[in-house]
Structure formats: structure tokens, C-alpha cells
């Protein structure tokens, strides 16, 4: 079923990725909002990632709560942004930041597991 959707998407005469051949400066900008789907997916992924920060700060607040508030404020700040190029840039930057943070978390967990395995075998 997925193959059918992909075939149907690329079966039209118009190349869906033709915009990648153009320079950024030459792209036509419109003030129509992008589908909210991408921003909602980014927001949901941000919430999931924030929940991984379960430890507390020095003042007693959990980092997950602080990060969630900050993310919410940032999404609200850009809610009324309608320049498609700017919205796209923000979405790409946000997605890239999430990927980098998640990668760092996974690397740290891997190092911790290796350390625990090494110290467990030494005893």
C-alpha cells in the first residue's frame, strides 16, 4: 500500500522535488501557511524528547518542565509566521536540533552502559 502511494505521488508529469534545482533566492515565496502537520509532528517529537530529561535543576524544577515551557514559547512565537521559506527554515532547524540532541543522549547512554559493564566485570 505504501508503494502505491509513493508511485501515485511521483507518477504526475510535475516533478515533486523540482524546487531543489532552483537557487533559494529565485524561489517563489507565498504567504500561505504550510500544512500544520509538519509543525505538529515537530512539536510532538519535541515533547517526547523533553520527557527524557527527568533529572532536576538546582532550584528543584525538573528539566523536562523547563524545556517544555521553552519549546511551547518558541512555537507560540512563530505561530503567526506565514513566509513559507522562513517557516521551512525554522522547521528544518528544529528537526536538526532534535536529531542532534537525541543522538547525544543515545551516545551518552551507550557510554554509561559500557562503563557499567566494565566496572561490573572488574568486581
- Residue 112 in this model has a pLDDT that exceeds 80: yes
Q: What SS3 state is found at 62? A: strand
Distance CA 102, CA 90 (A): 18
Look at residue 59 and tell me if it is in a domain: yes
Look at residue 26 and tell me if it is in a domain: no
* Arithmetic mean of pLDDT over the chain: 78
Look at residue 70 and tell me if it is in a domain: yes
Look at residue 91 and tell me if it is in a domain: yes
The dihedral through the CA atoms of 94, 100, 105, 109 has a sign that is positive
Provide mean pLDDT across the span 93-114: 91
Domain count, the chain: 1
Look at residue 18 and tell me if it is in a domain: no
Domain that holds residue 67: 35-122
Look at residue 79 and tell me if it is in a domain: yes
Return the pLDDT at 6: 40
Look at residue 8 and tell me if it is in a domain: no
Amino acid at each position: 500500500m505504501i508503494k502505491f502511494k509513493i508511485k501515485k505521488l511521483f507518477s504526475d508529469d510535475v516533478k515533486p522535488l523540482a524546487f531543489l534545482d532552483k537557487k533559494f533566492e529565485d524561489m517563489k515565496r507565498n504567504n500561505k501557511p504550510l500544512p500544520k502537520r509538519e509543525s505538529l509532528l515537530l512539536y510532538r517529537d519535541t515533547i517526547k524528547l523533553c520527557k527524557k530529561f527527568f533529572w532536576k535543576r538546582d532550584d528543584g524544577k525538573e528539566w523536562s518542565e523547563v524545556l517544555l515551557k521553552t519549546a511551547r514559547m518558541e512555537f507560540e512565537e512563530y505561530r503567526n509566521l506565514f513566509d513559507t521559506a522562513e517557516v521551512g527554515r525554522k522547521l528544518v532547524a528544529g528537526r536538526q536540533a532534535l536529531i542532534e540532541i537525541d543522538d547525544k543522549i543515545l551516545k551518552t547512554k551507550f557510554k554509561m552502559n559500557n562503563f557499567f559493564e566494565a566496572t561490573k566485570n572488574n568486581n
